Amino acid sequence: MSGDLKVIGRAGLAPFTSLKVGGVAECLAEAFTTEGLKRALCNGATLLGKGSNVLCGDVDGIVVLNRTSEVSVEGNTVLAESGVGLIALSRFAASRNLGGLEWACGIPGSLGGAAKMNASAFGGSFADKLTALYIFEDGREVRVPKSEIKFAYRKGCDKPVLRAEFVLNYRPREESERIMRELTARRFAAQPKGHSLGSVFKNPSGFGLKSAGYYIEKCGFGGKEYKGLSVSEKHANFILNTGGAKPKDFLTLVEIIRSAVFGEFGIKLENEFESIGDIL
């Protein structure tokens, strides 16, 4: 144990996820610096950021919570460690009269998670203002330009991310704050409150296809309950934890919904969330 890395020991993972459902980690640790994070990754640790958009089962070995939080600014270039939250970074940029990250003002994930799935909202995405990622590969930190990463819809970097570098545009703080207030209001109006991991399924691709939530709603799942879980009536692509659910219950409900949508519309919905560990 050091100031860089704190070992907690065997622990449940549910408290460290937005869904508040999870299995058990054989050994849980917290990394507070990039050096600590690299030490954990050198020992085969599974990386967990803010715990949104992820379903955790039982994990053998180490799970490291990414608590890195440093952000630096030089001109309009921002370098942030991967544990920094998207909400915090969007507000930080606005406070420095830098725009381009307003779209992220309501996303509860970390930079590392956003890099993995190319998080997006309201017409903006993680990759838009990104110039490079610093990844962990072969035991060392490597700078990778954005041009070498194949970003797409819900697809980003598949390596552990240590830092992200952005070049932002100058924008008055008041204008950024106005944009973020408007986007936050739109998010609250469209998405349910409660414990969830965000959107369960990716929106299907193809001409004329509608959102995943549309097809789930049409199959009659809005408001349906299953073993401590509830499909949101407000937005059917959200599954809320209402108490007592287990990881396997969540996966079972996901498969029930996927099967129903395929049977009714011939559309196979793909998971938007990630899974770690054994979900039995």
Catalytic residue among 154, 163, 171, 258: 154
Catalytic residue among 96, 173, 272, 275: 272
Instruction: Enter the pTM of the model.
Output: 0.94
The predicted-structure confidence for 214-270, as pLDDT tens digits, reads as follows 999 999 999 999 999 999 999 999 999 999 999 999 999 999 999 999 999 999 999
| pLDDT for residue 157 is more than 70 | yes
**Domain architecture of the chain: domains with CATH:** 5-66 (3.30.43.10), 71-189 (3.30.465.10), 212-276 (3.90.78.10)
153-162: average pLDDT: 96
Predicted confidence at residue 272, as pLDDT, reads 96
- Spatial contact of 230 and 191, defined as CB atoms under 8 Å apart: no
**What integer best gives the mean pLDDT of the chain?**
96
272 is catalytic: yes
DSSP structure string for the chain: --SSEEEEEEEESGGGSSS--B-EEEEEEEE-SHHHHHHHHHTTPEEESS--SEEE-BEEEEEEEE----EEEETTEEEEETTSBHHHHHHHHHHTTEES-GGGTT--SBHHHHHHHT-EETTEETTSSEEEEEEEETTEEEEEEGGGS--BTTB---S-EEEEEEEPEE--HHHHHHHHHHHHHHHHHHS--SB--S-SBPPPPSTT---HHHHHHHTT-TT-EETTEEE-SS-TT-EEE-SS--HHHHHHHHHHHHHHHHHHHS--PPB-SEEESB--
Predicted confidence at residue 3, as pLDDT, reads 78
Catalytic residue among 110, 125, 199, 232: 199
The predicted-structure confidence for 176-224, as pLDDT tens digits, reads as follows 999 999 999 999 999 999 999 999 999 999 888 999 999 999 999 999 9
68-90: average pLDDT: 98
DSSP-assigned beta bridge partners for residue 278: 58
Predicted confidence at residue 2, as pLDDT, reads 64
Q: How far is CA 170 from CA 19, 76, 131, 175, in A?
A: 36, 7, 16, 11
The predicted-structure confidence for 126-146, as pLDDT tens digits, reads as follows 999 999 999 999 999 999 999
The predicted-structure confidence for 6-25, as pLDDT tens digits, reads as follows 999 999 999 999 999 999 99
